[in-house]
Amino acid sequence: MKKLSACTTILVGKKASIDGSTMIARNDDTFLPINPQKFVIKEAYQNEPGKMLKSWLNKFEMELPANGYRTQAVPNVDYKKFGYYEESGINEKNVAMSCTESTYGNERTLAFDPLVKDGLDEDCMQNAVAPYIDSARDGIRRLGSLIKKYGSAAGNSVLFSDKDEVWYMEIVTGHHWVAQRIPDDCYAVAANRVSIQEVDFNDHDNFMYSEGIQEFVAEHHLNMNPEGFNFRHIFGTCNEKDRHYNTPRVWFAQKFFNPEIEQDPEDGEVPFIRKANRLLTPDDLEYVLGSHYNETPFDPYGKGTEEEKHRYRPIGLNRTQNSHILQIRNDVPEDRAAIFWLCIGGPTFTPFIPFFANMNDTPASFKDTQLSFRQSDAWWFYKSLAALVESHYPQFVQLDTDFLIEMRRYHRSRVAEITKASANLSGAELTDFLTKENDKTVDATRKAAEELWGQMLTESIKMSKLTFNMDANL
C-alpha cells in the first residue's frame, strides 16, 4: 500500500539557487511498481462550513475550514483502495507543500508516545493543510495543531516553502515533531530516516516543535548525549536498513552537490544541511532525483561487481510514481512566479514538465488517468517509455539522455517565453493564458517523446533474435 512509501527529498534555500528561487522536491516512491496517479486542480471555495475529510485507510475524519485556496494535487487513481495521497501542490498564495517523506522513529521513543492508529496519516495530510495556509510557517503551525489534536498514524516528514522560506518537518511519534528552516544559502537532503540534528529551542526563527517535547525526552530518559538535543539521535534510527536503504541516497546527493567532500555512504552522521559548491538549478535536482549512483561502482547499470551494483537502494526507482520540484521564483511578479515541475512515470528516463501553478485546469491526459493501460494517459505513456528505455538500456540510454537534454533546453526557454508573453496580463485573463500555455508545453513534450518512442521501437525490431540471413531472396 502507498502508506508504506519510501521517498527522497531535496530542499533548497533562495540564496542557494541560481536565480533566487526557493525549491522543494521529492520522489514519490511506493512499494508497488504500478500505482497510477493523476494531476488535478482542486478549486478554491468560500463559505462552505461542514466539509468533511475522511480517510479510506483508517477511521480518521475531521471537519475542514469553510474557506480554501485553489491548489494542485497528484492523487492516486484508486484512492478508495490506496488512500488519497494528494502528494504535492502550490496554492494560490504561492505556498508549496509536498507530503510526505516516510520517516521512522525508534522503539525507545515510540514506547512512550506510540503512533495513533486512527490519527492523521500521510494519505490525508495534503488535503488537510495545503489549501488553508498563507506561508510555509503557517503550514507547520497548522499541521502541528492537527497532530496535537488527532495524533499521527505514522512517522512522516513534510516539506513547505514560500518565496522566502523553506521548512522541513519531521513527525516521529504519535504526537511529537520538530521542524527546521533550511538556511537561505543551504540545501538539505532526506531519505526516510530522521534527518534533523541539533535543535536550538531558543531559536524561534529557525525551529518549531511540538508542545512538551523537551519534558517528554527528559521524563523518559531518551537523550543519550551528555549535551545538546540531537533530534536524530534521540528519535531516529541508525541500523543496517539505514546503512543500505537510506543513508547512501543522502551520500550520493551530497556527492553531486559537494564533490569535494569525502564521505562514507554508510555514515549515519552525514549532515542534514550543507552549502553546495555552486548555485543550484532545477537541472541539478532533476539529475539527483533520477540518479542511480551514476559513475560509481554502486550503479546497477555500471561496471561494479554484482555485489556492489546491488549494495545500496538508488534514488530513482521503477517504483517512483511521480517526481516533482516546486519552485517559487523571486525575480518575476507573484502571479506567475510559481512553477510546478512534474515528472510522471519516473525521473530516471522521463522529463520534468513545467506547469505555471496559476492555472485553472490540467490537460485531459494528466487528469483522466485510468487504472489500466491507456496510451493517451500521461502516466501510462511515460511509465511505458521508461520501461522501453530500461529494457534495452545499453542501446537506448544515449538516445534517452539526448532527449532529456533537449527537453530541459526546451522547457527552460518555454518558461521564459511564457513569462515574457504574459507581462501585460493579470487576474482571470492571466490564469486562462497560463493554463493554455501549459497545455501547449505538454503537447510539444508529448510529440517529442512519441518521436523518441518511435525511434526506439524501430531499433528494437531490428534486435530480434528471430532472424536468419542466408540469401537475399529468402
Question: Looking at the annotation, which residues are catalytic?
Answer: 7
Cell 500521510, residue? Answer: 122
Reference 231, options 239, 222, 240; nearest CA is 222
Reference 286, options 312, 252, 316; nearest CA is 316
Sheet-wide strand order for 320-328: 273-274, 187-190, 8-12, 22-29, 320-328, 338-344, 353-356
Can you give the three-state secondary structure of 304-328, one letter per residue?
Answer: CCHHHHCCCCCCCCCCEEEEEEEEE
Which residue(s) pair with 209 in the sheet? 178
Q: Are 216 and 113 in contact (CB under 8 A)?
A: yes
Write out the three cell numbers for 331: 525575480
User: How many residues appear in the chain?
Assistant: 474
Query: In the 8-state DSSP scheme, what is residue 420?
Result: H
The span from the CA of 305 to the CA of 307, in Å, is 5
Neighbours of 337 (CB within 10 A): 20
Cell 468560500, residue? Answer: 46
The span from the CA of 382 to the CA of 368, in Å, is 15
The answer to whether the Cα torsion of 433, 435, 439, 444 is positive or negative is positive
The span from the CA of 189 to the CA of 257, in Å, is 10
Which amino acid is present at 199?
A: V
Q: Are 77 and 370 in contact (CB under 8 A)?
A: yes
Terminal C-alpha separation, the chain: 53
Burial of 4 per CB tally in 10 Å (0-12, 13-18, 19+): exposed
Write out the three cell numbers for 274: 550543507
The span from the CA of 431 to the CA of 130, in Å, is 20
Instruction: Please compute Rg for the chain using Cα positions.
Output: 22
Omega of the bond prior to 9 within 30 degrees of 0, cis? no
The span from the CA of 38 to the CA of 210, in Å, is 34
